[in-house]
Chains A and B, each alone.
Chain A
Amino acid sequence: MIPLNWYLLVSAALFALGLFGVLSRKNAVAILMGVELMLNAVNINLLAFWRYRAPTESTGLAFAVIVFAVAAAEVAVGLALFIAVYRRFKSVAADEINLLKW
């Protein structure tokens, strides 16, 4: 069998890559993709613990399903924001949108 540790390592690596994407990318949509990677890492973690600790209860599954809903809501509003920003600035590069920057 696969040890639980392996899942945790993969999800930690995925989370770190997502974090790197969020911090380093210019394009706002790419930043959102980094966030998606992080949410997926979290979901792998949740389900791995569900499988190894409490597979007979549905708590882990319910948690993961609700993470789906949150991710979808976040993407919907985030992308709508980018469209609104693009209309105003003709760009979605995060470093060019600096009206509030001092």
Chain B
Amino acid sequence: MNAWIYIAIFIFLSLFFPALLAVAGWFLGPRRPNPIKEDTYECGLETVGETWVQFKIQYYLFALVFLVFDVELVFLYPWAVAYHKLPLYAVGEGVLFIALLAAALIYAWRKGALEWS
């Protein structure tokens, strides 16, 4: 529990420091707003309409493969911590798990989901 108190204090401080910098900048700097200055930057052109962006499906696929890996890693970390206490067959189970993970990667690869077109 002590560790969590320390970590909570640290996270609070690490939010506090940049916030302090931002506040200092806000008060020490001048403030002379005008509509042109506050306009959206677009290499000098005037912005037309709302921001209107369509993204490629690739971004979703990358994030998807990442999600699958991330979740599997949550399983692998306890396995790695317990590793020295495990019999050989349990290590083999971990290897099987990693092999399935590799199969997921190979499928995404073969399917072209990792291609940046």
A interface residues (Cβ-Cβ under 8 A, vs B): 65, 68-69, 72, 75-76, 79-80, 83
CB-based contact A79/B71 at 8 Å = no
B70: A residues at CB distance < 8 A: 72
Cα distance A75–B64 in the bound complex, in angstroms: 9
Bitwise interface map of B from 60 to 73 toward A, beta carbon under 8 Å scored 1, else 0: 10001001101100
Cα distance A76–B113 in the bound complex, in angstroms: 14
CB-based contact A72/B60 at 8 Å = no
Asked if B74 is at the interface (CB within 8 A of a chain A CB), the reply is yes
A-B contact number at CB 8 A:
21
CB-based contact B57/A69 at 8 Å = no
Cα distance A68–B51 in the bound complex, in angstroms: 35
Q: Which of A68, A80, A83 sits near B71, CB closer than 8 Å?
A: A68
Cα distance A75–B67 in the bound complex, in angstroms: 9
Provide a sorted-by-A list of 21 A–B residue pairs whose CB atoms are within 8 angstroms: A65-B74, A65-B75, A65-B78, A68-B71, A68-B74, A69-B71, A69-B75, A72-B67, A72-B68, A72-B70, A72-B71, A75-B67, A76-B64, A76-B67, A76-B68, A79-B60, A79-B64, A80-B60, A80-B64, A83-B57, A83-B60
A83: B residues at CB distance < 8 A: 57, 60
Cα distance A29–B78 in the bound complex, in angstroms: 32
CB distance from A60 to the nearest CB of B (A): 14
When C-beta atoms are compared, the residue in chain A nearest to B65 turns out to be A76
B60: A residues at CB distance < 8 A: 79-80, 83
